[in-house]
Every structure is written in C-alpha cells, then in structure tokens.
Homo-oligomer: A and B are copies of this chain.
Amino acid sequence: MSQALFESWVRDELARVEQALSDWVPVEAPAGLGEAMRYGVLDGGKRLRPLLVRAACEAVDGDLSAALRAAVAVELIHAYSLVHDDMPCMDNDVLRRGKPTVHVRFGEAGAMLAGDAMQALAFEVLTPDEHASDAMTPALQARLCGLLARAAGQSGMAGGQAIDLASIGKPLDESSLRDMHRRKTGALLQASVLMGAATGQCSAEAWQALSAFGAALGLAFQIVDDILDVTQASDKLGKTAGKDLHANKPTYVTVLGLPEARLRAHALHHQALAALDRVGLNDASHLRLLADMVVDRDS
C-alpha cells in the first residue's frame, strides 16, 4: 500500500472517530461536566488507539461499527487518564495537545469528575441498548468491556501509573521499567488491537499473533515517547518536553542511553511486524503502517 493511500485512510478514520466522539460525549451533561469531558477528549490527540482498533478490525474482517464504539471507548479511557495525570497531585502539567489542561480550564474538581465520568462513559458506549442502529451482540459487549476494564485497571494502566509515581527519583533496572511501561501505556495499546480483533472471527493463533503485535508495539510506543521527551521541543510535542527528566522519572533514555533506547524501539518494531507474518489475516496492511508510524513519528 502506498503512503498516500495510507494517509488518506488515516484522514478518513480520524474524521469518523472525531465525529463519533462528538456524537457520544454528551453536550447535555449537567453543570459544565459535558463541556469539560468534551474539552478533554475532542479536537486533539493522535488517536493512535482508535486507529489500532479499526485496523485490527480490518485485519480480521470484523464489524466496523462495533469497532467504532470500541475505538471511542478506548480513546475515552486514554483521555481520562491524561486529564487525571495532568492534575497538580500527579504530574501538575498545564499544557496538553497545545491547550491548557482540563484542570487549568475547569478547576481540579471539574477535571476529576470529568475523568471519572469519561471512564464510565467508555463502558456506556460499549453497551448500546438493543434498539441502537449499531447494536452489538451481548457476547461482544461483554468481551469488549472485559478487555477494556482489565487494560484500564490495577493490572494495566492504573497499576502502571502507581509504579510510575512510586519510582520517581529511584533507579529502575530495565526489567522493572519494562513492567511499568507495559502496564502504563502498553496494556491499553494492546487492548486496542485485541478489541478490534474481537469484533470479528479470529483463530486462537491469530489472536495470539495480534496480542504479541500489540504488546511489542505498545512498548515500542513508550520507548519512542521517552526518546521524544528529550529530543523534541514542547511546541512540536504539544505538551511539556523534558518533563520526565525534570521530574526525575526513570525512562528508557535515562536507564539505557539514547542509542540503546533507539535500538530497542527498532527491535520491538521488527518483533511486532514479525508477529503479523506468523498468521494469515484478512488485511493487516494498516496495522503494519501504523506500527511504522509509531516508531518513525517525531511528535
């Protein structure tokens, strides 16, 4: 597939996901809550997780409308985690996606509630009622809720954030760092791939391959993030650059050095693509190009 065709697919998908987010994140939520939720999730972000959900759905010739709900749900979880992560008691960050963070704009209580409501909304989106035009089978709803909850919770993202907090100023070896990143960022990226895969029929072997792809890609993503944090300026990233270093957090760059971190990212990129080669999939071309995009990005 040509780069131009891929870029056109990304553009179309982003427009579709943005529209779905806007449709499902409620304007009418009371007392400014809807406004804060929409501010936290709309008009920004690379939408990597939604793109992975949709591409994995294509890889198994799955149900694209179910994958759209899954894409929105996973992005809501990601966005809520950023809203909470930016708060003064966590990273205390004032800039995100080039805009003031949610607590700067809506106050700390407003940001906390918006994040809480975004997490609940993710599970609402995954359980449409039977009269919805894009109703899903209960079995798929349950599967998607289970995958998302496990990726978001104590064994996934929230657990990784707890390790992250506890490791400030402490030396970590590579294996502890990997464990933290696998939970903090990797679990939700991997779940994005698996939620997409769950929308179609998928052999046990294909599921394993997609799981391995998601795990390798998730870790590669975080290593690249660590690299960009020290090599790029804030205006390029749309968030505060150098903040891990400043916060004295261990990263792949501080633990391994820049050249070795780059080698790790490329090895994981290779692993991710190799996992896809092991099985026959309907069409894995977008998954492959997303993997390239994750590793080659500059913001």
**Which residues of A line the B interface, CB within 8 A?**
26, 29-34, 37, 80-81, 84, 87, 89-90, 107-110, 112-113, 115-117, 119-124, 126-127, 129, 137-139, 141-143, 145-146, 148-150, 152-156, 158-163, 165-167, 183
Neighbouring B residues of A156 by C-beta, 8 Å: 120
Chain A interface, >50% SS class: helix
Which of B113, B119, B124, B129 is A161 in contact with, Cβ under 8 Å? B113
How far, in whole Å, are A166 and B152 apart by their CA atoms in the complex?
A: 29
Within 8 Å CB of A138, what residues of B? 137-139, 141-143
Contacts of A124 in B (CB 8 A): 146, 149-150, 153
A149 touches B165 (CB 8 A): no
Partner of A149, one of B31, B89, B112, B127: B127
12 A-B pairs in the complex with CB atoms less than 8 angstroms apart: A29-B155, A87-B112, A89-B109, A110-B162, A110-B165, A117-B154, A120-B152, A120-B156, A120-B158, A129-B146, A138-B142, A138-B143
Are A108 and B89 neighbours in the complex by a CB distance under 8 Å?
Answer: yes
- Number of chain copies forming the complex: 2
Question: Which residue of the partner chain B has the closest CB to A136?
Answer: B142
| Chain B residues within an 8 Å CB radius of A121 | 149, 153-154
Shortest Cβ-Cβ A-B pairs, 9 listed? A120-B153, A127-B146, A89-B108, A123-B149, A141-B142, A117-B158, A33-B162, A29-B154, A31-B166
* Chain B neighbourhood of A108, CB < 8 A: 89
Q: Kindly list 16 other residue pairs between chains A and B, CB separation below 8 angstroms, not including A113-B161, A124-B153, A141-B141.
A: A31-B165, A33-B159, A84-B113, A87-B112, A90-B112, A116-B116, A116-B119, A117-B153, A120-B150, A123-B146, A127-B142, A127-B149, A138-B138, A139-B142, A141-B142, A141-B145
Residues of B with C-beta under 8 A to A112: 84, 87, 89-90, 112
| Distance to closest chain B CB from A256 (angstroms) | 22
**Contact among B113, B141, B145 with A162 in the assembled complex (CB-CB below 8 Å):** B113
Which residues of the partner chain B approach A152 to less than 8 Å between Cβ atoms?
A: 120
Rounded to whole angstroms, the CA-CA distance of A142 and B115 in the bound complex is: 23
Most buried by B among A116, A127, A129, A146: A116
A162 touches B120 (CB 8 A): no
Q: Are A120 and B119 in contact (CB under 8 A)?
A: yes
Which B-chain residue is minimally distant from A115 (CB atoms)? B116
Q: A146-B141, A154-B29, A166-B32 are in contact. Are A159 and B117 (CB under 8 A)?
A: yes
Residues on the B chain within 8 Å of A33, using CB: 154, 158-159, 162
> How far, in whole Å, are A159 and B27 apart by their CA atoms in the complex?
12
